[in-house]
Structure 1
Amino acid sequence: MAEEDPRHEGAPETRGVRAADEAALRRVARRRARQGVQRKERVDVRYSLDEKRAILTEARRLGLAGAHLVGALVTAHLNGDLALPGQRSVTDDLIDELAALRTQVARIGTNANQIAHRLNSGGETHSVDASVLTEARRLVTAVRQVVTAIDTAADETVTNRRAA
């Protein structure tokens, strides 16, 4: 009897936050470049205690200061790189889904590299090590090809969005 809700062992839990939303936030928050001079202008904003906590928690998770996260998101919106809820297009979602997919595929390659490193590090060998190492190399090559294809698709999507 097949399971009603098949398990995806090792797959990240996707309930709640979509991968595209996560990718969009990371992309936007990291993009804000440093300037040659210190930013001195301020805009005061008031948040509830819960809103402030949520902002600081997310900023910590991304390895950013709270002010940097808020500034990056506002600047991205002003530059047209981040739409407010309800303003996102299908293309925005596609770009962010491609970014999330690339991250997940790249993790597969990382795992294969770790397996190859373990097998190449010496120590006690097993009869299947050579075949596992061969498959790990094949997998890393396939992952590189898939990541390149994802990057190409994302670049074309962004180029087409800008041309429209």
Structure 2
Amino acid sequence: MAEAGLRGEGAPEQGGAGAPVGVPSVIRAADEAALYRVARRRAREEVQRTQRVDVRYSVTEKQSILAEAQRLGLAAAHLVGAIVMAYLHGHFEIPGQRTSFDDLIDELAALRAEIAPIGKNVNQIAFKLNSGGHPHPVDSAVLAQAERLLALARTAAEAIDTASFQAAVAKQAA
């Protein structure tokens, strides 16, 4: 039965939807509360809802949906409907649905993984040259180049980290 009006329960009127059950590896309390608010906040309609959409689930998926709905004190159909409507209103992504932000973040992570060994190798070269013994005439020139290369690698890694963070923030805002 639909409720007589919108239930605020201390939440702002336009509260967002949380992630669907089982999608994130960590479910935050705020996400769970938002999902509960969205699922419970449905205005009464003049006419009873009669349109159906049939969906098939595996036994495990159905059990998960029923368990989560019971835990939240909702009908399973109501929970699934709220999650679908939240997705349609742009509140979250479907698992496996890649965006350009995901591709960018993956590319930046791969680039960062390629930059890190450069810094490690330069440090090993510098350690070897500074380990004592009799220096060769070119050692000081090699050390100077190693310092410059290490500074460039560090700057590149920091720039990649900054770009990755900005991409992640932009993805959340989108």
- What TM-score, normalized to structure 2? 0.45
User: Which is helix-richer, 1 or 2?
Assistant: 1
Higher-Rg structure is 2
